[in-house]
Structures are given as C-alpha cells and as structure tokens.
Amino acid sequence: MVNTKVNLCGLTLDNPVIPASGTFGYGYEFAELYDINCLGTFSFKGTTKDPRFGNPTPRIAECPDGMINAVGLQNPGVERVIAEELPKLKQCFHKPVMANISGFSVEDYVYTCEKLDKEEQVGWLEVNISCPNVHGGGMAFGTSPDAAAEVTRAVKAVTTKPVIVKLSPNVTSITDIAAAVESAGADGISLINTLLGMRIDLKTKRPVIANKMGGFSGHAILPVALRMVYQVYETVKIPIVGIGGVSTAEEVIEMMLAGATAVEIGAANLVNPYVCRDIVEKLPEVMSKYRINSLSEIIGGAH
C-alpha cells in the first residue's frame, strides 16, 4: 500500500495535488462535477483588499501547448470573499484551504492577509508577489529581493498561519528572491507564477490581448518550472510548492523529485476540469510502477 500523504508547513495533506489559484474559482463550481475533498487542498481565486473588475477584454489568447491570460485579478474583494464565498466553499470542501492574496502596496497585503488569517477554513496564506508595486514605480514586488522581503516581513507580523510566498519567474535570479523571502520569515515558497508572453493577430496586426502582454501558462512551461524548483530547493530549507505546466501524475512526481513538497495544477484545469481528480486517482499506480512507497520520501530526490 503506497502512502501519498505529505506535510506542507505543518499541515498534513492526503496527497500533494492542489488546483492552482485562478483556475479553480472558490471550489464550488468544480464540486458540481466531482467530490473535491479528494484533493490535498486547493488555492482559491486571487483576492485583493478592494473589489477589482479586472483588465479590459480580450483577456485570453491561445498558444501552442498553453495560453496567455491578462484577467487582472478580477475578484469581489476580501470582505465579500469572507462574507459570501467562504461560507459556500465550506459546504463542499471540508479541509483547510489555501488563500491566495494579491496587493498593490505593502499595506494592501497586510490588510488582506490579516483578515484571511482569522478565517477557520484557511490553512495557508499564499502571497502572490507578482503584482506591480504602486509606490515603487510599478515594478512587481517579486522582481526585487528587498521588496519581496518587505512584503514577507510585514505579512508575517500580522499572521499566525503559514505564509507561502508565490514567486514570479520573470527575474534574472530566482534563487536571490527565494533566499530573501526565506530570510524574512516565509514558511514556504510556491513557484512558478506565469511567464510573460504575447500573441499578435495577423488580420488586425495588433496584439490579441487588450493588455498587450499577459501571463503565459500551460504544458509548455513545465521545463522552466522544474528548473526553477530544482534551483530553489538547493537554496532554501523551507518547503516548496511546485507550479507550472503539470498535467499528469508522472509530472507531479517529476516536480517532487526536483524539490516540491506539493504540486499545484493550473492551466490543465481549464482544458479538463477533471484533471486533478484523475491525477489523484492515478498517483498510486504510477508510484507502484516506479517503486515509490511514500511520496514524502522522494522530495528532492533528483539532487
């Protein structure tokens, strides 16, 4: 009998499979398709201090083996998420959930994290630092070690639950950012967020997306994500949540061998809404095939 359990920042997951933020809503839409309690957990839609309508349309562009999105963090704001979304989520998901949080200033992050930290259903705070810093010239918090550390320290000062900082891959050295957030007190790191990409429409000869550029995700980015998880594992001692291009049980194991404790599945949910359930069901078979008795024993096994 194989053991799929892993420990993520002090909380035990039945398996390492986690639908990624922005691809799974607040869970209840997928609960109409299957029992989402089979998942390790899931990261709910990125939440900000204030409601956001998001970017102008079109927001989505197709790519070979992936997609580009520039949704722009559309969400109802943290107050309504707590008042309306979490009670609905509680009806269909009976495990701790991961709260994904975005902000445009350190104060935004502090406010939203402090609010969600008090919610019983929230097990982890996944802090997305790929947002533009409105007080820092518009550069994303996650592209500067100092800015990344500042957000991490500020959030840790007002929270009690594990803080997992989600890193942007659009940097020269991912290890410098990872080391900075670890030294500032992060309990874990999730990576990677989307790469920056674009498409151009040959008929209009203009960018497909109204925002011109957007986040490139999908199966094509798996090798980049694996490389960065591998590098960060050799740099930090805290747990890593691997994200990027994963769509099979075999790729979950590959990501764990690179150094991930748990693995988020993103764009694949938009292609096949049953993909996370299917991966959970397939994991024991794939483990047996590769003579793996316990997933927790293979974390970082490729090093």
Asked if 28 contacts 88 with a C-beta cutoff of 8 angstroms, the reply is: yes
Q: What's residue 89's pLDDT?
A: 96
Which stretches of the chain are assigned E, i.e. beta strand?
6-8, 11-13, 17-19, 60-63, 66-69, 97-101, 122-128, 163-166, 188-191, 195-197, 200-201, 206-207, 214-217, 240-243, 262-265
Q: Please tell me whether residue 203 adopts helix, strand or coil conformation.
A: coil
For the annotated catalytic residues, the residue numbers are 131
pLDDT exceeds 90 at position 135: no
Dig out the tokens for 278 from the structure. 């299917």
CA distance 155 to 163: 8
Report which residue type is found at 273.
Answer: P
Which structural domains are found in the chain, ordered by start?
6-297 (3.20.20.70)
Q: What's residue 24's pLDDT?
A: 97
**Mean pLDDT in residue range 257-275:** 97
pTM, two decimal places: 0.96
Q: What is the pLDDT of residues 179-208, one digit of tens each?
A: 999 999 999 999 999 999 999 999 999 999
Asked if 78 contacts 109 with a C-beta cutoff of 8 angstroms, the reply is: no
Which phi and psi angles does 258 have, rounded to 5°? -70, -25
**Mean pLDDT in residue range 247-267:** 98
Asked if 41 contacts 100 with a C-beta cutoff of 8 angstroms, the reply is: no
Share of the chain above pLDDT 70, in %: 99
pLDDT exceeds 80 at position 279: yes
What pairing do the DSSP bridges indicate for beta strands 17-19 and 262-265?
parallel
